């Protein structure tokens, strides 16, 4: 099992932990190191009498350490993984000691456990059903009110002119956003928030961006008003966007949802903080089925993000998708094994036009669609003044968007700027964001 | 399309209250569905028109085509460094901040020396590291990032290298004074020819700096050059610059330190004439020894006069501390003392070294009353003498004198050899005061095997045996300068450890950082 430093950095809770972990990345720091197909473990001398015991579940990435750190994973977990980066032969044991076997067996049993639902009497069931219906009716009324209120708010904005937006106080947006939360429509609240997050300070780009947000939200409001006219899948999509949540637990228990078994390449990952909520998106690509999946995780600074998969990893897993008009959000139902190299190249697009066509096809089905996963071959890089461009085989030129003009693109440039044609994984959400490159049978994630 | 989008956007910005959108310019493909879904509400109609246009525009927009010249291949002329060597960079970058720059410097020097460049995935890391580093390291990093690295520097404006880095002879021809002096220090032999060639066109300040360098460890040619300068260019002139006199002082000092040099002989002969014999000694006249003492003139004479000292030795003619040197002769004698070695003084006075030092510091004729305290006006002269002759007896003697400032001790430490340093360290309360070792190391570089072993085993003794905590600064010194063969000794000491707090402390403070550092240094060394 190979890890890259970039992968490990992506799961480190902060830069300080990464640095501290690097300090423990020499095998000399460890008293023992062991590894087999399912678990990596090590013992390291700490400030206590007994060495700390660190273990990592390699199949469903998880950490456990006997140190008192509240960080997750702790520096020992990170350090132990980093040992393998610098010296894959560092583990000298393969037989799990009892403290390792106990933990890993417990995890294996837990993942196989079937959730036993409580059984209800008919009377209880009918009572539950009635309660559910009542709550659904109440919510529908609240959302309808919210939709009507937001429609009016947008119309007022257009009536008085968007030119006043930069002068609006944050409370102006927060108030409406809070009203949408009260109306049980948190999805709409996010759309309102996104208006307040535009960069009003530099240039005029915000003008078209604000109009785009208003148009898309207005379209959603219209769609909700006419939800009865939509097919069932579209109804689910609209309700999700308005703010009805989908429970991963329910999804796992729902046998009617199709399961897609494949070898999945974790193409990239992104974390964004919105109102103290950290939203993590992980994009996966099925190498055999060409299915694309997005895993959403949520965390706060007080509750760490669950580490289910690491970017750049390749895993054999069963994926189950949330229902909706377009298949996108998914969760891993069962994970079997991980691979060090890409066993098979995914379906490759010839050029950026094909990528855009794919994106457009998704938008045609779902106008609020975002994050099309694409892999384009024969991409070259060009630097002109202070901008890096990607050029495909038929000389289509795309600008690497400015927020990517950081180390990610520069690293890419350094690795590939020799005129070489490379295969690049992108996520497209209006712009192209490079996620990683394929080099021989490796995927180098940015 | 642009026109209608602008029309809609302008209306949205100004507000439908003040401006009505002109939909007549809409294409029928958009206008017809718009008419079907919009009623008479102007705001709804504008938003829907905008939505249709935005989706329509997105669906139909074409990508730009690259029409420029063929994409240039960026080829590196130097090969990348090897994987094991490259891996050391990752280890170096996580070292303690006090060690990181030092080891990074070693790593960069090696790669530059081999005319290689960094591994491609490390180039950006190096550039980012350079931003945080000093100009000196940044210049080295610039030489290791290859062509691709240089290209992406435009994205890293904080990576400022100032003036382009010069190397070799370029430093002499185009460099600043500092770079040219650096060139002399690095290429003494080649530089000497260039110095002579360009001498007449150099500034007086630069000449002084050059003489300061070449008067240390001079070869025969350089001594001839110094003699020539002393005899001609910097011979005393009635009207001369201060720097010219200072240069004469430097030249004279160099010449006087050469045994049998006429100037040396002249000074010794003259001083002899001021010596008088004294009887010292035993009981009832038994065991008397004859020693000598100085009887300095009370007023300036033919030898002890400021004009003579200025012309001959470049000594500043103005007594700048009349409280300390109460007359001109005292002032001149204090200036003369550092020109003569301790051994010579001992021979002149027929006394042991330590007695000579006592004599200079305690004899009545050398004492002055300063703030109610009698002190010898020769204190500073003795201290300066150490730099001219680096005599261990005098240095060790001065270390025990209460008038020596801490900074003065630090300045003298590099002049000792490792045995003398260890001898003195052991007499101190805190032998591992890293400052002392550090000041010695700054001049002497890598420690020899014996010094390394002693410092290592003394660290063990100090921490594990004497149960004393110590700071990490000594281990940083060890990490940088310990002899690479000391690893065996380090392991031996580790094997002697028992399970206790102080053993853990030694493991943490000494063993682990040192083991890591030796590992890195060995790979860099052997690469």
Report if residue B75 sits inside a domain: no
| pLDDT tens, residue by residue, A165-223 | 999 999 999 999 999 999 999 999 999 999 999 999 888 999 999 999 999 999 999 99
pLDDT class for A89, splitting at 50, 70, 90?
confident
Whether residue B300 is found in the same domain as residue B241:
no
Tell whether A181 and A286 lie within a shared domain.
no
Percent of chain A with pLDDT over 90: 54
Mark whether B91 and B126 lie in a shared domain: yes
Q: Tell whether A211 and A268 lie within a shared domain.
A: no
Chain A interface test: which of B5, B6, B40, B51 (most A C-beta within 10 Å) = B51
* Whether residue B265 sits in one domain with residue B398: yes
Residues in CB range of B390: below 8 A, 6 or more apart: B415
Angle between helices A186-196 and A122-160 (to 10 degrees): 30
Preferred mutation among A28, A159, A215 to probe B, highest tally of B CBs within 10 A: A215
Residue predicted with more confidence, B293 or A109: B293
DSSP H helices in B24-119: 28-37, 42-60, 83-93, 97-113
Element (H, E) at A296: strand A292-299
**Average pLDDT value for residue range B24-38:** 80
Are A325 and A365 part of one and the same domain? no
First to last CA, chain B: 63
Task: Name which of A142-146, A279-283, B427-431 the model is least confident about.
Answer: B427-431
Min Cα–Cα distance to chain B from A60, Å: 28
A435: three-class secondary structure by DSSP: strand
Place of tokens 């030119």: A163
What pTM does this model have? Answer: 0.69
- In a domain, residue B321? The reply is yes
DSSP A334-374: EEEEEESS-SS----BSSHHHHHHHHHHHHHH-TT---EEE
**Residue A39 phi, psi dihedral angles, 5° rounding:** -145, 150
**Cβ atoms < 10 Å from Cβ of B144:** 23
Cβ neighbors of A206 (< 8 A, separation 6 or more) are A165, A166, A198, A199, A200
A24 and A61 both lie in a single domain: yes
Nearest to A388 by CA among A377, A373, A402, A374: A402
In the listed set A215, A242, A269, which residue is the last one of a domain according to the structure?
A242
Q: Are residues B391 and B270 part of one domain? A: yes
Q: Is residue B434 part of a domain?
A: yes
Cβ contact, residue pair B51, A218, below 8 Å = yes
Strands of the sheet containing A422-429, edge to edge, are A442-445, A431-439, A422-429, A372-384, A387-391, A396-399, B64-65
**Measured between alpha carbons, how far is A142 from A182 in angstroms, rounded to an integer?**
8
B284 CB-side CA count, 13 A: 0
Asked if A197 and A295 sit in the same domain, the reply is no
Q: Which DSSP letter does residue A301 get?
A: S
My answer on whether A374 and A331 are in the same domain is: no
Q: Are A425 and A434 in contact (CB under 8 A)?
A: yes
The beta-strand segments (E) located in B418-511 are none
Question: Sign of torsion, CA B333 B336 B340 B342?
Answer: positive
CA nearest B156 in A: which residue? A406
Do B197 and B327 have their domain in common? Answer: no
Instruction: Give the pLDDT of residue A409.
Output: 66
Q: Which of A79, A112, A145 is the last residue of a domain?
A: A112
Among candidate residues B357, B378, B404, the one where a domain is terminated: B404
User: Exposed, middle or buried, A80 (CB in 10 Å: 0-12/13-18/19+)?
Assistant: buried
User: CB A410 to CB B155 under 8 A?
Assistant: yes
CB contact under 8 A, B94 and A25: yes
Those residues whose C-beta lies under 8 Å from the C-beta of residue B213, and which sit 6 or more positions away, are B181, B184, B185
Same domain, B486 and B426: yes
Other C-beta atoms lying within 10 Å of the C-beta of residue A133: 10
Q: In A, residues 37-76, which contact B (CB 8 Å cutoff)? A: 45
Write down which residue in B198, B221, B256 finishes a domain. B256
Of A28, A363, A380, the CB nearest to B71: A380
How many domains is chain B built from? 5
* Structural domain range at position A391: 352-445
ipTM, 2 dp: 0.82
What digits encode the pLDDT tens for the residues B138-174?
989 999 999 888 888 877 888 877 666 666 788 888 8
Task: Please indicate, yes or no, whether residues A87 and A150 belong to a single structural domain of this protein.
Answer: no
A316 and A363 fall within a common domain? no
Chain A environment of B14 (Cβ under 8 Å): 161, 163
Residue B67 located in a structural domain: no
Would you say residue A249 lies in a domain? no
DSSP state of B18: T
**Residues A417, B148: C-beta atoms closer than 8 Å:** yes
In a domain, A250, yes or no: no
**CB burial of residue B427 (10 Å; 0-12, 13-18, 19+):** exposed
Contact A54, A65 (CB under 8 A): yes
Residue B39 in contact with partner chain A when CB distance is under 8 A: no
Regarding whether B55 and B102 lie in a shared domain, the answer is: no
Same domain (yes/no): A383, A312: no
Minimal CA separation from B387 to chain A, in Å:
43
Same domain, B353 and B304: yes
Tell me the nearest-neighbour CA distance from B186 into chain A, angstroms. 34
Whether residue B265 sits in one domain with residue B313? yes
pLDDT of residue B165: 61
Q: Are residues B181 and B204 in the same domain?
A: yes
Of A332-346, B181-195, B202-216, which has the strongest mean pLDDT? Answer: B202-216
Under 8 Å CB pairs connecting chains A and B tally to: 139
Residue B219 lies in a domain: yes
Distance, in angstroms, between B120 CA and closest chain A CA?
Answer: 6
Distance separating alpha carbons of residues A237 and A219, to the nearest angstrom: 13
The tokens describing A155, both together, are: 């119309």
How far apart (Å, rounded) are the C-alpha atoms in residues B42 and B20?
A: 8
Scored b (16 or more CB within 10 A) or e, A50-71 reads ebbbbbbbbbbbbbbbbbebeb
Distance, CA of B21 to CA of B48 (rounded, Å): 12
The two structure tokens encoding residue A18: 């990464």
Per-residue pLDDT of B438-473, as tens digits, reads 778 777 788 888 888 888 888 888 888 888 887 777
Task: Please indicate, yes or no, if residue B476 is contained in any of the structural domains.
Answer: yes
Do A323 and A376 fall within a single domain?
no
Whole-angstrom Cα distance, residue A358 to residue B256? Answer: 88
Q: Which residue matches tokens 């132990």?
A: A80
Average pLDDT, chain A: 88
Token duo for residue A338: 């991980």
The answer to whether the beta carbons of residues A376 and A423 sit under 8 Å apart is yes
Asked whether residue A107 is domain-assigned, the answer is yes
Q: Flag whether A117 is in a domain.
A: no
C-alpha distances out from residue B339 to A202, A418, B333, B354, B383, Å: 70, 64, 10, 18, 12
In terms of domains, do B395 and B266 share one? yes
DSSP per residue, B414-427: GGS-HHHHHHHHHT
State which residues form the domain around B324. 261-404
Residue with tokens 């208003």: A214
Q: What is the pLDDT of residues A294-332, one digit of tens each?
A: 999 888 877 777 777 888 899 999 999 999 888 899 999
Structural contact between residues A340 and A189, judged by C-beta atoms closer than 8 angstroms: no
Closest C-alpha to A91, from A37, A32, A17: A32
**Over pLDDT 90: what percentage of chain B?**
50
The two structure tokens encoding residue B430 = 């805190």
| B17/A159 touch (CB, cutoff 8 Å), yes or no | yes
* Residues A147 and A227 occupy one common structural domain: yes
Neighboring chain A residues of B74 at a CB cutoff of 8 Å: 417-419
- What are the helix (H) ranges across A54-204? 75-86, 98-112, 122-160, 170-182, 186-196
- What digits encode the pLDDT tens for the residues B215-249? 988 889 999 999 999 999 999 998 999 999 999 99
The CA distance from B473 to B509, in Å, is: 9
The answer to whether B71 contacts chain A (CB < 8 Å) is yes
pLDDT digits (tens, 9 = 90+) for A403-429: 555 666 677 667 665 567 889 999 998
If asked whether residues A132 and A207 sit together in one domain, one would say: yes
- DSSP type of residue B402: T
DSSP state of B369: E
Q: Which of A112, A143, A175 is the last residue of a domain?
A: A112
**Residue B71 belongs to a domain:** no
Residues A84-89 have a mean pLDDT of 85
Whichever domain contains A310, its CATH number is 2.40.50
Residue B340 included in any domain: yes
Instruction: Check pLDDT > 60 for residue B364.
Output: yes
Instruction: Mark whether B321 and B343 lie in a shared domain.
Output: yes
- The upper half-sphere exposure of residue A392, i.e. CA atoms within 13 Å in the direction of its Cβ, equals 24
Distance from CA of A136 to the nearest CA of B (A): 29
Residue B166 phi/psi, 5-degree rounding, is -110, 150
Domain count of the fold of chain A: 4
- Chain A hits for B59, CB-CB cut-off 8 Å, are 360, 363-364
């Amino acid at each position: 099992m190979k890890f890259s430093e970039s992968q490990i950095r992506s799961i480190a809770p902060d830069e300080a932990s990464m640095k501290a972990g690097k300090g423990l990345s020499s095998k000399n720091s460890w008293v023992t190191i062991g590894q087999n197909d399912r678990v990596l473990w090590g013992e390291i001398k700490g400030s206590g009498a007994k060495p700390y015991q660190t273990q990592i579940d390699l199949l469903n990435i998880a950490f456990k350490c006997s140190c008192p750190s509240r960080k997750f994973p702790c520096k020992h977990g990170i350090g132990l993984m980093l040992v393998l980066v610098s010296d894959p032969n560092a583990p000298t044991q393969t037989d799990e000691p009892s403290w390792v076997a106990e933990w890993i067996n417990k995890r294996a049993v837990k993942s196989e456990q079937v959730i036993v639902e409580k059984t209800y009497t008919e009377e209880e069931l009918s009572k539950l059903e009635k309660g559910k219906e009542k709550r659904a009716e109440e919510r529908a009324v609240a959302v309808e009110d919210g939709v009507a209120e937001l429609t009016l708010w947008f119309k007022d904005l257009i009536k008085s002119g968007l030119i006043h937006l930069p002068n609006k106080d944050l409370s102006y947006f927060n108030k409406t956003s809070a009203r949408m939360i009260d109306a049980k429509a948190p999805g709409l609240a996010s759309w309102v928030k996104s208006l307040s997050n535009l960069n009003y300070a530099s240039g005029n780009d915000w003008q078209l961006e604000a109009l785009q947000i208003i148009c898309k939200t207005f379209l959603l409001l219209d769609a909700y008003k006419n939800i009865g006219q939509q097919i069932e899948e579209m109804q689910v999509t609209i309700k999700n966007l308005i703010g009805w949540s989908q429970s991963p637990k329910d999804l796992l228990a729902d046998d009617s949802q199709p399961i897609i078994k494949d070898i999945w390449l974790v193409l990239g990952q992104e974390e964004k903080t919105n109102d103290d909520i950290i939203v993590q998106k992980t994009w996966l690509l099925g190498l055999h089925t060409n299915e694309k999946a997005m895993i959403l995780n949520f965390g706060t600074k007080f509750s760490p993000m669950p580490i289910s998969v690491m970017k750049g990893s390749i895993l054999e897993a069963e994926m189950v998708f949330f229902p909706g008009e377009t298949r996108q959000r998914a969760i891993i139902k069962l994970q079997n094994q991980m691979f060090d190299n890409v066993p098979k190249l995914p379906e490759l697009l010839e050029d950026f036009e094909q990528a855009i066509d794919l994106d457009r096809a998704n938008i045609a089905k779902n106008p609020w669609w975002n994050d099309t996963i694409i892999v384009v071959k024969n991409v070259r890089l060009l630097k002109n003044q202070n901008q890096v461009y990607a050029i495909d085989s038929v000389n289509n030129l795309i600008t690497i968007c400015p927020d990517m003009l950081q180390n990610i693109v520069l690293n890419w440039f350094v690795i590939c700027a020799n005129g070489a044609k490379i295969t690049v994984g992108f996520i497209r959400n209006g712009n192209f964001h490079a996620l990683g490159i394929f080099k021989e049978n490796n995927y180098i994630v940015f | 399309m642009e026109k209608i989008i602008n029309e809609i956007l302008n209306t949205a910005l100004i507000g439908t209250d003040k401006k009505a959108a002109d939909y007549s310019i809409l294409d029928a493909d958009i206008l017809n569905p718009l008419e079907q879904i919009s009623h008479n509400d102007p705001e709804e109609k504008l938003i829907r028109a905008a939505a249709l246009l935005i989706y329509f525009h997105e669906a139909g927009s074409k990508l730009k085509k690259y029409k420029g010249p063929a994409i240039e291949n960026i080829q590196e002329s130097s090969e990348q460094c090897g994987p094991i060597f490259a891996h050391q960079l990752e280890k170096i970058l996580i070292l303690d901040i006090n060690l990181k720059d030092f080891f990074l410097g070693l790593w960069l020097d090696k790669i530059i020396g081999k005319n290689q460049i960094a591994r491609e995935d490390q180039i950006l890391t190096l550039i980012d590291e350079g931003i945080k580093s000093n100009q000196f390291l940044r210049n080295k990093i610039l030489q290791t990032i290859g062509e691709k690295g240089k290209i992406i520097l435009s994205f890293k404006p904080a990576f400022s290298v100032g003036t382009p880095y010069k190397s070799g002879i370029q430093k002499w021809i185009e460099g600043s004074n500092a770079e040219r002096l650096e060139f002399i220090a690095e290429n003494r032999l080649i530089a000497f020819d260039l110095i002579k060639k360009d001498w007449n066109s150099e500034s007086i300040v630069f000449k002084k700096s050059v003489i300061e360098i070449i008067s240390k460890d001079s070869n025969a040619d350089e001594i001839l050059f110094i003699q020539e300068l002393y005899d001609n260019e910097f011979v005393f002139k009635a009207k001369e610059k201060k720097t010219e006199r200072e240069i004469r002082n430097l030249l004279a000092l160099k010449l006087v330190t050469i045994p049998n040099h006429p100037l040396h002989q002249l000074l010794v002969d003259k001083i002899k004439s001021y010596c008088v014999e004294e009887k010292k000694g035993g009981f009832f006249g038994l065991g008397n020894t004859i020693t000598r003492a100085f009887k300095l003139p009370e007023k300036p004479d033919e030898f002890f006069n400021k004009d003579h000292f200025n012309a001959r030795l470049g000594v500043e003619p103005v007594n700048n501390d009349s409280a300390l040197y109460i007359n001109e002769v005292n002032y001149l004698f204090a200036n003369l003392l550092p020109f003569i070695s301790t051994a010579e003084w001992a021979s002149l006075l027929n006394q042991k070294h330590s007695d000579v030092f006592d004599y200079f510091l305690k004899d009545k004729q050398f004492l002055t009353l300063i703030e109610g305290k009698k002190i010898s006006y020769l204190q500073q002269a003795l201290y300066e003498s150490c730099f001219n002759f680096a005599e261990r007896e005098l240095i060790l003697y001065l270390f025990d004198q209460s008038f020596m400032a801490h900074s003065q001790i630090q300045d003298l430490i590099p002049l000792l050899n490792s045995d003398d340093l260890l001898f003195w360290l052991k007499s101190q309360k805190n032998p591992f005061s890293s400052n002392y070792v550090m000041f010695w190391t700054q001049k002497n570089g890598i420690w020899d095997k014996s010094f390394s072993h002693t410092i290592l085993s003394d660290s063990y003794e100090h921490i594990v045996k004497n149960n004393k905590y110590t700071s990490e600064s000594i281990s940083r010194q060890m990490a940088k300068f310990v002899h690479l063969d000391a690893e065996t000794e380090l392991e031996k000491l580790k094997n002697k450890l028992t399970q206790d707090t102080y053993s853990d402390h030694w493991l943490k403070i000494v063993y682990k950082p040192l083991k890591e550092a030796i590992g890195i240094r060995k790979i860099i060394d052997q690469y």
